[in-house]
């Protein structure tokens, strides 16, 4: 089993990566079971795939456990769903000792983590990511949240899990499109932090059937853990993880959450951000061409025609805008990134021609 530490003092926690890990959870969690109520938060389809089996195994191991399901897609990350989960937990006699298991992709992890951060002013939770995107990104670092009409994740908290359990064998249940979405985030880690890893990803994408998923997941988790350990609350270094996200989030909001997958939107956003980096003189022509070629190895869905101006309101509401000034993540080279406050709305609009 590969174990990676997120080092945050008394809030430190491990990320465990191993195929077949789900079957080991009753024994891995046994020391944390003190007779409290446990709640699995998941989607019903995932409960059918492997959640009910986990539920039965935990019950047989002496856990007092129940489950709550949320809708598929970003619809789960709403105020109404948040309220419904809280109400169900109260009906199930949950209290301050209750522990949540977030079993699912980024949506489940975000809403379950936010519930954990706020129920009884904060209870313990564990992340059990079921999608590639969640395994390498959203399950690590404690970002939780829900969406409102004005934008994605504008209500939330940074609230760290007790541990993250990554079982790459769960990817077998994923549609190909979800795997592609996760590969977009894996590319991001290489391009902002590790040029050798970026080169390995590029080579691996030439044959998706033999892509080294467990190795790529472990390295992505190492990079995310290292960044979060140095900058938990996104004061500086952690902002680099948002490479491609400013435009990616705007594309998601414009086309509708769930209609364009997060990793797909971020992949398009990375192309635009790479072009902007090049135009500002930070990123060479060859490096931009290389980045764009690697991203285009992914079978991304074509974007419907859109008016670029419609994205600007979403970009202005971006969480990386501080005192009216956008801190945009740019590339200084393959494997190196920084933030810039020199990225104008006009430059962003022009960059969208690269993906239209």
User: Where in the sequence numbering do the catalytic residues fall?
Assistant: 121, 143, 185, 224, 234, 238, 242, 245, 249, 262
For the chain, the three-class secondary structure string (H helix, E strand, C coil) is CEEEEECCHHHCEEEEECCCHHHHHHHHCHHHCCCCEEEEEECHHHHHHHHHHHHHHHHHCCCEEEEEECCCCHHHCCHHHHHHHHHHHHHCCCCCCCEEEEEECHHHHHHHHHHHHHHHHCCEEEEEECCHHHHHHHCCCCEEEEEECCEEEEEEEECCCCCEEECHHHHHHCCHHHHHHHHHHHHHHHHHHCHHHHHHHHHHCCCHHHCCHHHHHHHHHHHHHHHHHHCCCCCCHHHHHHCCHHHHHHHHHHHCECCECHHHHHHHHHHHHHHHHHHCCCCCHHHHHHHHHHHCCCCCCCCCCCCHHHHHHHHHCCCCEECCEECEEEEEECCEEEEECCCCHHHHHHHHHHCC
């Amino acid at each position: 089993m590969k174990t990676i530490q997120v080092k945050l003092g008394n809030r430190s926690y491990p990320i465990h990566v191993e195929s077949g890990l789900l079957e080991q959870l009753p024994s891995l969690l046994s020391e944390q079971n003190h007779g409290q109520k446990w709640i699995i938060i998941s989607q019903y389809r995932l409960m059918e795939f492997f959640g009910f089996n986990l539920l039965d195994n935990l019950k047989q191991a002496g856990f007092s456990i129940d489950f709550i399901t949320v809708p598929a897609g970003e619809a789960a990350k709403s105020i109404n769903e948040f309220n419904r989960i809280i109400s169900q937990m109260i009906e199930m006699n949950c209290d301050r000792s209750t522990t949540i298991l977030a079993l699912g992709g980024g949506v489940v992890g975000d809403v379950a983590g936010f519930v954990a951060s706020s129920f009884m002013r904060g209870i313990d939770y564990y992340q059990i990511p079921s999608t590639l995107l969640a395994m390498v990104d959203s399950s690590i670092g404690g970002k939780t949240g829900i969406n409102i009409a004005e934008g994605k994740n504008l209500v939330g908290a940074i609230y760290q899990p007790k541990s993250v359990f990554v079982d790459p064998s769960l990817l077998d249940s994923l549609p190909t499109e979800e795997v592609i979405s996760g590969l977009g985030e894996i590319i991001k880690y290489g391009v902002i932090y590790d040029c050798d890893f970026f080169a390995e990803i590029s080579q691996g994408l030439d044959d998706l059937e033999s892509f080294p998923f467990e190795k790529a997941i472990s390295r992505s988790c190492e990079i995310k853990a290292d960044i979060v350990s140095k900058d938990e609350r996104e004061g500086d270094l952690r902002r680099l993880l948002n490479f491609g996200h400013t435009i990616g989030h705007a594309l998601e909001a414009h086309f509708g959450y769930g209609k364009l997958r997060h990793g797909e939107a971020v992949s398009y956003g990375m192309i635009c951000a790479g072009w902007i980096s090049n135009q500002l003189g930070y990123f060479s022509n060859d490096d931009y061409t290389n980045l764009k070629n690697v991203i285009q190895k992914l079978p991304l869905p074509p974007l419907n025609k859109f008016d670029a101006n419609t994205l600007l309101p979403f970009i202005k509401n971006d969480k990386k805008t501080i005192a009216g000034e956008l801190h945009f993540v740019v590339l200084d080279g393959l494997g190196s990134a920084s933030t810039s406050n020199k990225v104008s709305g006009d430059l962003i609009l022009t960059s969208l021609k690269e993906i239209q």
